[in-house]
Amino acid sequence: MQISGAQMVCEALIAEGVKTVFGYPGGAIMNVYDAIYKQDGFEHILNRHEQASVHAADGYARSTGKVGVAMVTSGPGFTNAVTGLATAYMDSIPMVVISGQVPLSLIGTDGFQEIDAVGISRPCTKHNYLVKKLEDLPRIMKEAFYIAKSGRPGPVLVDIPKDITAEMGEFSYPTEVSIPTYKPNYKGNNRQIKKAIEAIKSAKKPLLYIGGGVVLSNASMLVREFAEKAQIPAVETLMARGVMGAKNPLLLGMLGMHGNYSSNMAMSETDLVISLGARFDDRVTGKLSEFAKYADVIHVDIDPANIGKLVDVDYPIVGDIQKVVEKLLEGIEDIDTDRYQAWRDILNRYDKLHPQSYVDSDEVLKPQWVIERIGELIGEDAIITSDVGQHQMWAAQHYPFDRPRQWINSGGLGTMGFGFPAAIGAKRGNPDKTVINITGDGSILMNVQELVTASEYKIPVINIILNNHFLGMVRQWQTFFYDKRYSETDLSYQPNFKALAEACGGIGYDVTTKEEFDAALKDAIAKDKVCFMNVAVNRFENVLPMVPSGGALYNMLLEHKDQ
């Protein structure tokens, strides 16, 4: 039996177990959308912008661990999707994006809505394909899913010309993938692992440096077990929040530019960094010459290109975090945990000296209080997404993340407008969880059209807008480093967020007090509709601690005269 290329795409998605596709149709992908209309193997959600489609697929992937799928058309449909691809690429998120392309005969002629999708996406995809023959389509779809989720995960683009989707042919979907040039190393080198174990046992001030790769490899529980068995203190990157659990006494907190005092001091004084799935991002290291300058470095990562890229590594281990930590656990059976007691005592004193704190107020809502209150009311039952800015850092600092995949944000690219569509994807993948997007009055407007999507598909995402009438993080830098020249950061002219939500079929709240916040959040959960909660917060609140750009981690701004 022969089927069209468009039908092959649908059959491949069904064979891969895809349940939800996010997308937006157009001329070059129309044949595939016609095939979608005729199938019932998966659900399609129509976003109102292609960027939102890819972010929704991203949120779905981050929250479930499955491959996210988005579909767009050619030309502007694809270019709108590029920000979503780059966001996923920077954070190593498994995703397959299917784009329509002009017919093969028109490629290179500047045809209507033609764009070089493969060329444009090369820097921001793990791999990409232009399908030139119908008989290659099933193999390419199989490979796309395999590449997206194996090794270091990432987004894969499949660009399909319109005539390929119309052509008829025999469909046989492969059961296995063979790519001779792509063989991820999962096990880790035993000799290097043994050396690392000896280094851990001989260290006096070891520190676990936990990155987002631990979440991606589903190794969080193993890493907790390792830390607890060895009694080694741990710090988490922005992407790793939830790995250790907020109440774990070994967790110092988040590391980096807005990390807490004890975490940054620990990295500055450690004699052995045990890096698991982290890539030594500049927001974490600060001034490289001062970063962990007294320490040897163990670096475990699935991607060999990450090891030694920024920091000299003494014990490089290429492998999957889960498999390597299993071997590390075996090797520390006889470890002397008392050896590190003095180190733990030092770090406890640092934490007491400058705890992660803020000055609360009954006069005006503090954004930190709002985030802590969400944790008190909902806690581990929530999935938290965020946009990018001050609200993102406050959420990372103050929410009590108990588990991996509970915290979803754009780390590497820092994409404003990510949070709302990502929350839609997360809610579709986790219908039993309360999904809250913590956002700002700047970020929320960047994909505000998704109010319509969430209303149409009855996806009850709660958007908490921490409204300070500023582009907050840029304003903070202008306060600290630009002599308060607030160039184009005042957002005093705003829509009526409550009315805007209601106009699109959702619900809205204006909140100015703690009592109003509690009542609004409880009501929003009960109403089970998409909502905008417009929370008026202190305009000039700053995110602290803060390491100035290019500064050493131990040189933190702990307070500011305007706060």
Domain count, the chain: 3
Out of 286, 321, 353, a domain closes at 353
pLDDT (tens digit per residue) in 64-111: 999 999 999 999 999 999 999 999 999 999 999 999 999 999 999 999
- Cα(493)–Cα(382) distance, integer angstroms: 32
Q: In sequence order, which residues have a C-beta less than 8 Å from that of residue 136 and are 6 or more positions away?
A: none
Give the range of the structural domain holding residue 148, as residue numbers without chain letter: 2-170
In a domain, 273, yes or no: yes
Angle between helices 341-353 and 261-269 (to 10 degrees): 140
Chain centroid to CA 138? 30
DSSP string, 52-92: HHHHHHHHHHHHHSSPEEEEE-STHHHHHHHHHHHHHHHTT
- Cα(259)–Cα(128) distance, integer angstroms: 36
The token pair that represents 315 in the structure block: 């014990």
Instruction: Of 51, 64, 80, 50, give the one whose Cα is nearest residue 20.
Output: 64
Residue 560 confidence (pLDDT) above 80: no
In a domain, 223, yes or no: yes
Residue 503 confidence (pLDDT) above 60: yes
Q: For residues 27 and 154, state if they share a domain.
A: yes
- What SS3 class is residue 23? strand
Rg (CA), the chain: 24
In a domain, 547, yes or no: no
In a domain, 142, yes or no: yes
Q: For residues 220 and 346, state if they share a domain.
A: yes
Which helix H or strand E contains 348, and what residues bound it?
A: helix 341-353
Q: For residues 135 and 250, state if they share a domain.
A: no
Q: Among 321-325, 380-384, 394-398, which stretch is predicted with the lowest mean pLDDT? A: 380-384
Phi and psi dihedrals of 383, rounded to 5?
-105, 130
The token pair that represents 171 in the structure block: 């469909």
From residue 378, give the alpha-carbon distance in Å to each of 373, 383, 481, 521.
Answer: 8, 10, 37, 10
Q: In sequence order, which residues have a C-beta less than 8 Å from that of residue 283 and are 6 or more positions away?
A: 238, 256, 257
In a domain, 247, yes or no: yes
- What SS3 class is residue 492? coil
Residue 562 confidence (pLDDT) above 80: no
**What is the torsional sign of CA 155, 160, 165, 169?**
negative
Catalytic residues: 50, 112-113, 162, 473
**How confident is the model at residue 34, as a pLDDT?**
98
Out of 353, 384, 412, a domain closes at 353
- Cα(356)–Cα(343) distance, integer angstroms: 20
Q: For residues 122 and 44, state if they share a domain.
A: yes
Cβ proximity of 511 and 520 under 8 Å: yes
- Cα(147)–Cα(128) distance, integer angstroms: 10
In a domain, 178, yes or no: no
Q: For residues 214 and 349, state if they share a domain.
A: yes
Cβ proximity of 64 and 430 under 8 Å: yes
Q: For residues 79 and 49, state if they share a domain.
A: yes
The CATH number of the domain holding residue 486 is: 3.40.50.970
- What SS3 class is residue 434? strand
Cβ proximity of 305 and 291 under 8 Å: no
Q: For residue 367, with 0-12 CB atoms within 10 Å meaning exposed, 13-18 middle and 19 or more buried, which class applies? A: buried
In a domain, 98, yes or no: yes
The reply to whether omega before 123 is within 30° of 0 (cis) is: no
pLDDT (tens digit per residue) in 426-453: 999 999 999 999 999 999 999 999 999 9
Report DSSP state, residue 401: -
Q: For residues 234 and 266, state if they share a domain.
A: yes
Q: For residues 37 and 105, state if they share a domain.
A: yes
Task: Scan for tokens 């939800």, then name that residue.
Answer: 20
How many Cβ atoms from other residues are within 10 Å of residue 332's Cβ? 16
- pLDDT-above-90 percentage for the chain: 98
Instruction: Of 63, 24, 15, give the one whose Cα is nearest residue 428.
Output: 63
Cβ proximity of 302 and 179 under 8 Å: no
Q: In sequence order, which residues have a C-beta less than 8 Å from that of residue 460 and are 6 or more positions away?
A: 427, 435, 454, 527, 528, 529, 530, 531
Q: For residues 117 and 150, state if they share a domain.
A: yes
**How confident is the model at residue 2, as a pLDDT?**
94
The token pair that represents 46 in the structure block: 């129509």
- pLDDT-above-70 percentage for the chain: 99
In a domain, 469, yes or no: yes
pLDDT (tens digit per residue) in 106-149: 999 999 999 999 999 999 999 999 999 999 999 999 999 999 99
Amino acid identity of residue 559, one-letter, is E
Question: How many residues are listed for the chain in this entry?
Answer: 563
The CATH number of the domain holding residue 228 is: 3.40.50.1220
Cβ proximity of 275 and 236 under 8 Å: no
- Cα(214)–Cα(333) distance, integer angstroms: 22
pLDDT (tens digit per residue) in 145-190: 999 999 999 999 999 999 999 999 999 999 999 999 999 999 999 9
Q: For residues 274 and 138, state if they share a domain.
A: no
First to last CA, the chain: 71
The token pair that represents 42 in the structure block: 């998966």
Q: For residues 474 and 516, state if they share a domain.
A: yes
- Cα(119)–Cα(115) distance, integer angstroms: 9
Round the average pLDDT of the chain to a whole number and report it: 97
pLDDT band for 379, please (50, 70, 90 cuts).
confident
| H helical segments located in 188-319 | 190-202, 212-216, 220-230, 261-269, 282-285
Instruction: Of 205, 220, 362, give the one whose Cα is nearest residue 272.
Output: 205
- Cα(321)–Cα(213) distance, integer angstroms: 7
Q: For residues 514 and 455, state if they share a domain.
A: yes
Out of 318, 353, 388, a domain closes at 353
